[in-house]
Amino acid sequence: MSSMTDKLRFEPCALSPELAQLRAAVRAFLAEALPRVPAVTRSHSWEAWDAEFSAALGARGWLGMTLPKAYGGHGRSAFERYVVIEECLVAGAPTAFHWVADRQSGPLIVRYGNEQQKRRIIPQIVAGQACFAIGMSEPNSGSDLASLRTRAERTATGWRVNGTKIWTSNAHRAQYLIALFRTDPDPTKKHAGLSQFLIDLKEAQGITPRTIRNLAGGRNFNEVSFVDVELPPEALLGTEGQGWKQVTEELAFERSGPERYLSCFFLLTKLIDVVREHASAATLARLGSQIAWTLTLRNMSLSIAAKLQAGQDPALEASVVKDLGCQFEQALPGLAQELCELEPTLEGYGLDYQQVLGSLVQIAPSFSLRGGTPEIMRGIIAKGLGVR
C-alpha cells in the first residue's frame, strides 16, 4: 500500500493571496463580457465557440500565460493560468476557439516546434487568434490510439498523407491541426512508427472535414479525410518516430485541468439560483454534498497545477481527477432533475435554467469519452500503481 501512495501523490497546494487581484480582474471582465452570450451557449463552456471572446481574453494577456516571453508568451505561472481558466469555466465562458491552443498546442509547439513554427504561431495563440484541432482518433483507433493507420510517407519534397481521422473537434473551422500519423508502416514498430505533424488547414490541399451531428444537434466534431495531402518537410513536429512520446505528454495537458470537473458548473450555479428561496433541508444537504465534492476535486486539481509548475509529470494524478471529475459532472444534470421540478427544454422557452439543463442532459454523456474513456483512465491508474 505504501508503495502505491508513493506513486500517487496529491500534495496540498494553496493559491497565494496575490492571485486574488488577478481573479477579481478576470471576474470583472467576465461580468461585463458574458451577459451578451445566451445561457444555453454558456452551458457548453469549453465547447462553445466565440472568436470575439477569445480575442478579448487574449488582448487582456490571459492566453498563452505560461508560454515563454521570448516567443511572445507571458512567462507567468501555471497558477495564474489556473485562476483564469477556473473563472472562465465557472462563469460558463465560451472558450472553444482558443481552448486547445492555450491548453496543449502552445506548450507542445514551444517544446517540440522548430524556430519558425514558434515565432509564427505562438504570438497568434497568445492573441487568441489561432484555433487548433487535435487529429488523434481514427475510425478504427480510438482507445487503442497506437493502432492508427493514417499514413505520412516521405517524398522528394516533404510528406504525402492519406487516411481518415474522426471526432476531430472544430476541424471545419480551425486554422491549425496537430495530427498523429504513421510514418513507419513496419508492424513491429507500433508505437515507434508514429510522428506528429503541424498542419495549416487554410493552406494544405486535399483535407476535407465533414461535420458529424451530435446527439444534441450540434456540429462540433468531424470526420476528416486526407487524400494525397502534400506537406512541406517542416510540417513534422518534433522528431520522426517520437510521436507516441510527444502525444503522451500532450494528453497529460489535455487531462490535467479543472475542465474535467467544471464542464457543468454553470448548471449548479443556475440550480442554486432557482431553488435558493424555497430549498428544503434535504435539498440543502444534497447541494452541500455537491459543493464538498467540488472543493475536494479542486484541491486535487490544484495539486496537479503545482506539479505542472514544478515541471513534473502529472499523468497519473490527472487520470484520477479526470475519472472522478467526469463521474461528478455527469451526475449533475440528474441531481438537478431530482432537486427541482422544472422540466429541461431545448426549445428556447422556459427559464435559462431549463435550457441549460436541457442542453446538458444531452451533452453530458460525451464528457467521459473525450480525452479518454473511464476504462482507459482506470487502466492508466492501475498501471501507474503497479497493480497491472
Q: Does 137 contact ligand FAD by CB under 6 A?
A: yes
CB of residue 178 vs ligand FAD: minimum separation in angstroms? 10
Separation CA 40–CA 248 (nearest Å): 33
Residue 167 binds ligand FAD, judged by CB under 6 A: yes
**Of residues 59 and 382, the one with the C-beta less far from ligand FAD:** 382
Pairing of strands 194-200, 176-182: antiparallel
What is the nearest approach in angstroms of ligand FAD to the Cβ of residue 138?
8
Q: Measured from the CB atom, is 100 or 235 closer to ligand FAD? A: 100
Closest distance to ligand FAD from the beta carbon of 4 (Å): 21
Residue closer to ligand FAD, measured from CB, 30 or 166: 166
Minimum distance of ligand FAD from residue 255's CB (angstroms):
11
Side-chain-side CA neighbours of residue 287 (13 Å): 21
Decide whether 214 or 309 has the Cβ nearer to ligand FAD: 214
* 382: its cell numbers: 492501475
Q: Does 168 bind ligand FAD (CB under 6 A)?
A: yes
Residue type, 192: A
- Please report, for the chain, how many H helices and E strands are present, in that order: 15, 8
Enclosing H/E stretch for 271: helix 265-275
In the complex, the smallest distance separating the C-beta of residue 57 from ligand FAD, rounded to whole angstroms, is: 21
Q: How many residues bind ligand FAD (CB under 6 A)?
A: 18
DSSP-based three-state secondary structure for 234: helix
**Distance between CA atoms of residues 46 and 24, nearest Å:** 21
Name which of 158 and 384 has its Cβ closer to ligand FAD: 384
- Tell me the C-alpha distance between 140 and 164, whole Å: 10
Residue from 375, 382, 383, 388 in contact with ligand FAD (CB under 6 A): 375
Query: DSSP letter at 193?
Result: T
Residues 106-135 that bind ligand FAD (CB under 6 A): 133-135
Q: CB of residue 260 vs ligand FAD: minimum separation in angstroms?
A: 13
| Contacts with 308 (C-beta within 8 Å, 6 or more apart), sequence order | 78, 256, 314
Tell the smallest beta-carbon distance from residue 64 to ligand FAD (Å). 20
**Are the beta carbons of 78 and 308 closer than 8 angstroms?**
yes
| DSSP annotation of 184 | -
Rank residues 109 and 364 by Cβ distance to ligand FAD and give the closer one: 364
Pull the grid cell for residue 160. Answer: 504525402
Q: Which stretch binds ligand FAD (CB under 6 A): 161-169, 247-255, 307-315, 334-342?
A: 161-169
Map the footprint of ligand FAD across residues 185-224, applying CB under 6 A: 221
Interaction of residue 142 with ligand FAD, rule CB under 6 A: yes
Burial zone of 190 (CB within 10 Å; 0-12 exposed, 13-18 middle, 19+ buried): middle
Pick 82 or 221: Cβ nearer ligand FAD: 221
Cα gap 275→283, rounded to integer Å: 8
| Measured distance between the N- and C-terminal CA atoms of the chain, rounded to whole angstroms | 14
The cell numbers describing 19, all together, are 492571485
Judged by CB under 6 A, the residue of 101, 320, 370, 381 near ligand FAD is 370
Residues 338-367, one symbol each (x = binds ligand FAD by CB under 6 A, - = not), give ----------------------------x-
Binding site for ligand FAD (CB under 6 A): 133-137, 142-143, 167-169, 221, 366, 369-370, 372-373, 375-376
